[in-house]
Structure 1
Amino acid sequence: MPTLFELFCFILLVIETLTGMVGNGFIAIVNYIDWHRSRKLSPVDMILSLLGLFRFPFHAVLIQVAIINVFFVDTFQKMNVYIAYNALWLFLNTPSLWFAAWLSVLYCVKIANCSHPLFLQMKRRFPGLVPWLLLGSVVFSAITTTVAITGSIILSKCNPFESHLNNKNDSAINTTSSCNIFYFFYLLPNFFPFVVFFFSSIFLLTSLWRHKNLQQNSVRDVSTEAHLNAIKALASFCILYISHFCVEILDTFMFWRDIKCAWIYIIAFNVIVAYSSGHAIILIFMNPKLKQESVRLLHWLKC
């Protein structure tokens, strides 16, 4: 039976999940309606649409995993159940991280001020590369999910922690090394988008710091306002993104050491859902079109 703390965290998780599903579903629907009317989407809308489409089912998978971990622990110990949910988790989560990283890069090339030829060339070409980057992210996710699931099947046959304690022979050491390699590949897909997001955010922050009007003039121009709005969104999302990445490392470490602790898992699920739900809310309030549609929807519901 789950403890009172676990039940409280689970209820909070349900609220966060519903918020995230509504927010990401709203983003996807608004952009689909806009595409249906005009038959075209801007690079920003493309990224937002795919973010909503991938995060909506991800929330559904996450709440199912949470229910199994809290109320039906024995079910999740079955290998076929674990592989199925792990495959869905990886395939839906990895592209979402890449889409968020490309969104931060797009903000950077559109808003940041830099006269370097390489940056100016990227500023011109990056919006046209967005569809191919999004497609490549999905393909990359499919490949890494296949590799990770194959590794999970192999990892189920070895326990490196017990090998260190009970065996000192060469075969045990070789088995442990093989297992560690598969754990490394399990974390690798989430590391690359984190690096892309981190450096694009740092570059945008540097651009804001160097903006002369921010220090010299008391009246802010349009460029500075654009910087500030983007930084508010990126700074808030950066905290959520880093928290999500740290939780992913913790989850992999617990699986590596075969640590089964329900309350740690339920807290980790809350952090992961807070990341995607919080980012959806930030995007809605920072995007003029989404904000206008949300106000219109709230007014319609009120009436």
Structure 2
Amino acid sequence: MSWIESVIVYAIALAEIFCGLVINGFITVTKLMDWWEGRKLKPFDKIFLSLGLSRILFMALIIFNIINRFFSLNFYDINVLNWIFNAVYLFLDFSSLWFAMWLCVLYYIKVVIFKNTLLIRIKLKIPELVRYMILSSLFVSSLSGIVFAYNYKWTLDVMIPPKYMEMNTSLDKQMAYLIPSYFLGTFLPFLLVSASTSFLVEVIFVHVRRLSNSVTSFTTPSMDAHLSAIRSVIMIEVMTILNFIVSVLIRFDFHDTCNKGILFLFAVFYHVAHSVALIAGNAKLKKATLKILHYFKKCGTARKPQVNAGVDTITTQQTKK
């Protein structure tokens, strides 16, 4: 890329990172305040907190990458540092995908009415299972990240041009480890998210049909809420599919055929847009967002009378003169 394209990419990336830090910081602080006030977090809140923290650290790591490129520090020329970066980068990326997957699965379990006794028991034991969900996600993400990073001989920072790679049998040996670790870290949560969102949309559609047959007006508040939920779920599914495609291109485009700047921007944008969609679909976070917006709006309206009062005073003095 030329220096103009690089400046544009970095400017957009920094704007995305700033939004990502604010949004995921808002999620994290809100859940920590809930924990501080109630001394106990619900299953959704625990996973939201884990997701917010993982994405904040992921954004911080991207800032470090930008500093490394901008000042030409060349940290990734050292094999040990490059391995550590790849492992941490993959761990944060994989863990955020797993936490997002658990949110989709829990939403589906919460909405669906099960008739099977085993599924009902699982649904009742979700508060006890959340701890194991989080720990298993961290374990699988760390294991997949370490295995992938150990067998991946290049940096995962897509904005750094790849070095010459010998296409020989060693690549086949590496792929034997890269593909299974990638399956556990990215492809498996992608499949579970896709299945959960598909089933969830189907369940909501069935409920919407029942409501449309039982009410005279299709624009009732209950109907609007269901349609809004469908839009949110579909948007999350579309973003998940696009992110999966981008992640495949980032990790397996060995010949550098794709525009790395666009891949980099979308990799950052996904973590921002997905968090926004989760906030829009969560009642607590949505209510907290509306409170903050109302506070800023109130502060803005409180300043206007002071300005108007000053203008009225000047006008009065001019009239007297």
**TM-score under structure 1 length normalisation:** 0.83
* Structure 1 position 267, deviation (Å): 1.4
The question of whether the paired residues in 1 share the 8 Å contact of 2:47 and 2:103 is answered with yes
* Structure 1 position 135, deviation (Å): 1.4
For residue 213 of structure 1, the aligned residue among 205, 210, 215 is 210
* Structure 1 position 29, deviation (Å): 0.4
RMSD (CA atoms): 2.9
Cα 1:260–1:62, aligned 2, differ >3 Å: closer, same or farther? Answer: farther
* Structure 1 position 194, deviation (Å): 0.7
* Structure 1 position 160, deviation (Å): 11
CA distance in 1, matches of 2:73, 2:60: 18
CA distance in 1, matches of 2:75, 2:95: 28
Q: Which structure has the higher relative contact order (CA within 8 Å, separation 6+)?
A: 1
Deviations 1:231-268 (A, max 9, x none): 332211112111111111001122x44x387xx22211
Give 1 or 2 for the bigger CA radius of gyration. Answer: 2
Larger deviation, residues 226-235 vs 283-292: 226-235
1:178 aligns with 2:182: no
CA distance in 1, matches of 2:15, 2:188: 30
For residue 289 of structure 1, the aligned residue among 261, 269, 284 is 284
Aligned match of 1:266: 261
Cα 1:119–1:222, aligned 2, differ >3 Å: closer, same or farther? Answer: farther
* Structure 1 position 46, deviation (Å): 0.9
Larger deviation, residues 230-239 vs 97-106: 230-239
Aligned match of 2:124: 124
Percent of aligned pairs sharing the same letter: 30
For residue 162 of structure 1, the aligned residue among 140, 145, 166 is 166
CA distance in 2, matches of 1:71, 1:230: 45
Aligned match of 2:233: 234
The question of whether the paired residues in 2 share the 8 Å contact of 1:91 and 1:145 is answered with yes
Report SS of the residue matched to 1:210.
helix
**TM-score under structure 2 length normalisation:** 0.79
Report SS of the residue matched to 2:40.
coil
* Structure 1 position 127, deviation (Å): 4.1
Cα 1:116–1:69, aligned 2, differ >3 Å: closer, same or farther? Answer: farther
Deviations 1:255-301 (A, max 9, x none): x44x387xx22211211111111122222233222222223223434
Cα 1:176–1:93, aligned 2, differ >3 Å: closer, same or farther? Answer: closer
> Aligned partner of 2:88: which letter?
L
* Structure 1 position 27, deviation (Å): 0.6
* Structure 1 position 34, deviation (Å): 0.9
* Structure 1 position 178, deviation (Å): 0.6
Aligned match of 1:170: none
CA distance in 2, matches of 1:206, 1:118: 22
How many residues are aligned here? 287
* Structure 1 position 123, deviation (Å): 2.8
